[in-house]
Amino acid sequence: MKIHTTMNHSLVKGIFTFLLILGLLSSFAYAEESIMPSVNIVPKSGTWKPKMTAHNIKGCPPMMRGALEKEKFYSTSKKTNFSKPFHPNDIFDPKDINPEGNQNIKWTNPKLNFWKVTLLNNQEGMKVDMTWDLNLTSETTMDVTSHLSMHFPKEMAAMLGGSSECRVDSSGIIERIGD
């Protein structure tokens, strides 16, 4: 009789453990669904306004720093009608991303509600990389980040009075403020 009781206790303990693990796994799945939507978000058409939340400049020569401090996201509100499915060109004019050259900006969509564009420009003596990320977080909010990195040869960096890498990291949000 004692063996039978021990086996029942082990069985109950095993079932309890299984149910506990199953409950935890479903909680994680629910939490992930709450944080990361599993459907394509289409922003509501209307008036949208960007707001810079961070703008960090590191290692840039003093003569470039002043111009880079002024180089921020567009700051005026903009009335926008969004296409279905959404495309970042609906909110960003390609000239906003690359004012000096190729207007044929190719955004990639590596994951749901997230777009990325990378521009490379290798000029004589220096290399420039620029990346923009756009994340739709809701029908009324987008997160935006941009990373600009300029790599100078050591001689040029010494002449300009900065380091061999000038980096500008910016982030912000674009919010719908009305119809």
Distance CA 88, CA 115 (A): 7
Residues of the chain with pLDDT under 50: 1, 4-7, 28-34
The verdict on 125 and 105 lying in the same domain is yes
The verdict on 29 and 114 lying in the same domain is no
The verdict on 27 and 93 lying in the same domain is no
The verdict on 71 and 130 lying in the same domain is yes
pLDDT of the residue at 138: 96
Task: State pTM to two decimals.
Answer: 0.71
3-state helix, strand, coil in the chain (%, to 5): 30, 35, 30
For residue 96, tell me if it sits in a domain.
yes
Q: How many domains does the chain have?
A: 2
pLDDT of the residue at 159: 86
pLDDT of the residue at 29: 46
The verdict on 59 and 132 lying in the same domain is yes
Query: Tokens 């810079």 identify what position?
Result: 52
The verdict on 60 and 113 lying in the same domain is yes
Distance CA 143, CA 149 (A): 20
Distance CA 71, CA 141 (A): 22
Q: Note if the bond before 85 is cis, omega within 30 degrees.
A: yes
The verdict on 54 and 6 lying in the same domain is no
Boundaries of domain holding 95: 46-178
pLDDT of the residue at 11: 54
The verdict on 28 and 82 lying in the same domain is no
For residue 66 the two structure tokens come to 């002043």
The verdict on 170 and 138 lying in the same domain is yes
pLDDT of the residue at 32: 46
Long-range pairs of 75-83 with CB within 8 A, sequence gap ≥ 24: 75/50, 76/49, 77/47, 77/48, 77/49, 77/177, 78/47, 78/48, 78/49, 79/46, 79/47, 79/48, 80/43, 80/45, 80/46, 80/47, 80/48, 81/45, 82/42, 82/43, 82/44, 82/45
One-letter amino acid of 145: T
Question: Residue 95: CB partners within 8 Å, gap ≥ 6?
Answer: 103
The verdict on 31 and 107 lying in the same domain is no
For residue 41, tell me if it sits in a domain.
no
Please tell me whether residue 173 adopts helix, strand or coil conformation: strand
pLDDT of the residue at 34: 47
pLDDT of the residue at 24: 55
The verdict on 5 and 71 lying in the same domain is no
